Chains A and B, each alone.
Chain A
Amino acid sequence: MDPVTRRNFIKSVIAAGATASSVGYLFRGPNTVIGQSSAPGAVERLITLNVNGQMRRVDVLKNETLAMTLRYKLGLTGTKLGCDRAECGACTVLIDDVPHYSCSVLTHTVRSRAVMSIEGLENPATGELHPMQRGVVEEQGFQCAFCMPGFIMSAIGFLKVNPIPTRQELAHGVSGNLCRCQDYDKILTALTKGAEYMRGASNA
């Protein structure tokens, strides 16, 4: 998949037949009024998404972002919206193992891809935490933790391409994520611990 840039995003919106106005970000709920005149992008289409290893059937708008689908259609509220404009990374999810800002990905573009959100990290059979989650819990990596799901997904995605990063490389790997409690020191320590556990798990 092409890297997500604003340009690609806007192109994608236009390709979907929707306008790239701010209305594109707004949410149209499941209880659409009958007889309503059809605004641009107002028609929902039933699609199938692969989310956290499950095939989910969901009605989406042409201009609906993945963050809104996850949060408001699939009940996966662990993905947070901090800015809705690709600035803060709180909404980061993995798409085919690559971190993406889900606020800036149109849902219809990920139909044939594997989407992983924070809720998909635990072992579905045992309920065991993902090694990265374990590292974050043990080091108490975050404070208010609103940014935590995004940081964890970014870190896991980054570690797939660089499994043994230096502390500085890991900082670069998650530099698309903002934290306002701002103990970046402890965040890095926790993610480093998680990276160690991930290596241990893959060697086991």
Chain B
Amino acid sequence: MIPVASETAAKVTPAQQAPVEQAHAALRGITRVYHTQGRSLHALGPVDLSLARGEFFSVVGPSGCGKSTLLDILAGLNPPQTGTADFEGKPILGVPDGVGVVFQEDACFPWLNVRDNVAFGLRRAGVEPTEIKRRVDYAIGFMGLKDFAASYPAQLSGGMRQRVCIARTLVLQPRLIMLDEPFGALDQQTRLIMGDELLRLWRETSATILLITHALDEAAMLSDRVGVMSTRPGTFIDIIETGWDRNRDSRVVSTPHFGGITARLWEKLRVEALKMMSTSELRSP
């Protein structure tokens, strides 16, 4: 189906004003400070964010602004210093049930073939073998890995290994899928195709998606909303609604509206990137 991109102008909603009462996942007043070798590094916050059920939200920001820390907090991997994080109305105290994460780095288990990689989480959770087979077959087929089910990760390209990781997350039927720069190591064409597959997955599963990315075009093409973060300590300086139709795909990149969103994102991010660069230059010897 040809995507219908909304031609309405991008709207800006300050993150602080997002309604959190009915949110699928929410962060309120989150901060994170790291203490290393007697020094403190204020990495994140204060941050407020609410994700609506079934929305596709992307986070962009300069390097080191705390994007991945934000994901880690929402995934229950890293507790915040202050503030609260909720998922489906319950406070996040560890990794919540119903959450799946895809990392930038290759997280395939090299000693397992594709089928066993995808089935790993299900076996660990004690799911029935027939159900495992059904779900794994579906996920492998969905991600276009049917002919590679018996292959080992070392036999696959970077893009295919990332598909294995997405399939491994998909089989667990998470209600919130978080992706930390999942296509960062891939070339532009593969990234566009993987973006289409991610949108297809999002439509079919109706999961809420949080995507951390440094690629403005990726965020502009994939998301319902894009949060722009400041330099460290990262806070949301803008949240842009893209207005895309749910049936969009990578062909939206040729529309003027896509250019408008990307330009708006860059306008906000350019200032922050320059700030980050000047800070780095000051720090370097």
Bound pair (A, B): no
Binding site for B on A (CB under 8 A): none
Binding site for A on B (CB under 8 A): none
